[in-house]
Amino acid sequence: MAAVSQSAMTAEPSVASPKMTARDLNLFYSDNQALFDVNLDIVERQVTALIGPSGCGKSTFLRCMNRMNDTIDGVTINGKVTLDGRDIYDKRIDVVQLRARIGMVFQKPNPFPKSIYDNVAYGPRIHGLVNSRDELDEIVMTSLERAGLLKEVKDRLQSPATGLSGGQQQRLCIARAVAVSPEVILMDEPCSALDPIATAKVEELIDELRSNYTIVIVTHSMQQAARVSQRTAFFHLGKLVEVGETDQIFTNPKDDRTKGYITGRFG
């Protein structure tokens, strides 16, 4: 609780040694500003949940953290995002490498139209992380195991990934992200397309992964945020309203807007 800022606006969301930070981050889609002076620290080996009503900029913010917004035309960003203290928007930073270090899992499961094995092997292959087939096999197996999928698919690694169920596909996407040994995993509403049982499995998985990875998750569901995260940040109209320990945000929010959202008065 001590680390939590008391300020109502976006001031001082800082923690002792953050894995990632955002400082005065503004983002424009051509002329529309979508993010306003966002300041946020991400704590290592914790799950940080980004919550807020639709269109509040939480997904946009997430996509800034591994420069996925680079692929969209007409986006301008100013401010600073750092990973281990280095600005990721620095010209010298290689975006390809950056995205390998900061993995991403998307809203809808998006397995490539390849075999299960090839999906997981894709990252290690393109990044040249392995020297032999055995090594690759090991990475694929470990990643699938980490994603809790190995038992279900170990007999059909060569069958197409599109044949898996939605929940399995999403865990495959997590395995795919894990396979390149990222330091941070960004998850953009990873359970929004899944049924409750598959959701439960993915949430379990997130909890497991926390011991090795720093995780940032955007979620629509406050229950999910409460279940899986240690820290929660509330976004509203492109601004970061409040950030703090999850318990504190849900039991004792400082800002009226946070309170209103959490108690269901808008959203």
Residue 76, helix vs strand vs coil: strand
* Residue 123 interacts with other proteins (CB under 8 A): yes or no: yes
* Residue choice 4, 77, 98, 225 for contact with other proteins (CB under 8 A): 98
* Residue choice 23, 80, 101, 259 for contact with other proteins (CB under 8 A): 101
Around Cβ 22, how many Cβ atoms within 10 Å? Answer: 24
* Residue choice 31, 71, 264, 266 for contact with other proteins (CB under 8 A): 71
Sign of CA dihedral 173, 175, 178, 180: negative
Residue closer to other proteins by CB (options 36, 122) is 122
* Residue 113 interacts with other proteins (CB under 8 A): yes or no: yes
Residue range at the interface with other proteins (CB under 8 A); choices 20-28, 98-106, 234-242, 243-251: 98-106
* Residue choice 15, 25, 49, 68 for contact with other proteins (CB under 8 A): 68
* Residue 12 interacts with other proteins (CB under 8 A): yes or no: no
* Beta strands 102-105 and 184-188, pairing class: parallel
* Residue 66 interacts with other proteins (CB under 8 A): yes or no: yes
Nearest CA to 246 out of 11, 54, 105, 43 is that of: 43
State the Cα–Cα distance between residues 44 and 52, nearest whole angstrom: 22
Side chain identity at 20, as an amino acid letter? M
- Cβ 119 to other proteins shortest distance, Å: 9
* Residue 190 interacts with other proteins (CB under 8 A): yes or no: no
* Residue 106 interacts with other proteins (CB under 8 A): yes or no: yes
Residue range at the interface with other proteins (CB under 8 A); choices 9-17, 125-133, 232-240, 246-254: 125-133
State the Cα–Cα distance between residues 195 and 174, nearest whole angstrom: 17
State the Cα–Cα distance between residues 11 and 255, nearest whole angstrom: 13
Side chain identity at 247, as an amino acid letter? D
* Residue 160 interacts with other proteins (CB under 8 A): yes or no: no
Residue closer to other proteins by CB (options 47, 240) is 47
* Residue 104 interacts with other proteins (CB under 8 A): yes or no: yes
State the Cα–Cα distance between residues 204 and 184, nearest whole angstrom: 18
Residues 6+ positions from 161 with CB-CB distance below 8 Å: 111, 112, 113, 114, 115, 116, 118, 119, 169, 172
For residue 143, give the H/E element and its range: helix 133-146
Give the footprint of other proteins on this chain (CB under 8 A): 66, 68, 71, 94-101, 103-108, 110-114, 122-123, 126-129, 142, 145-146, 148, 150-151, 173, 176-177, 180-181, 183, 197, 200-201, 204-205, 208, 211-213
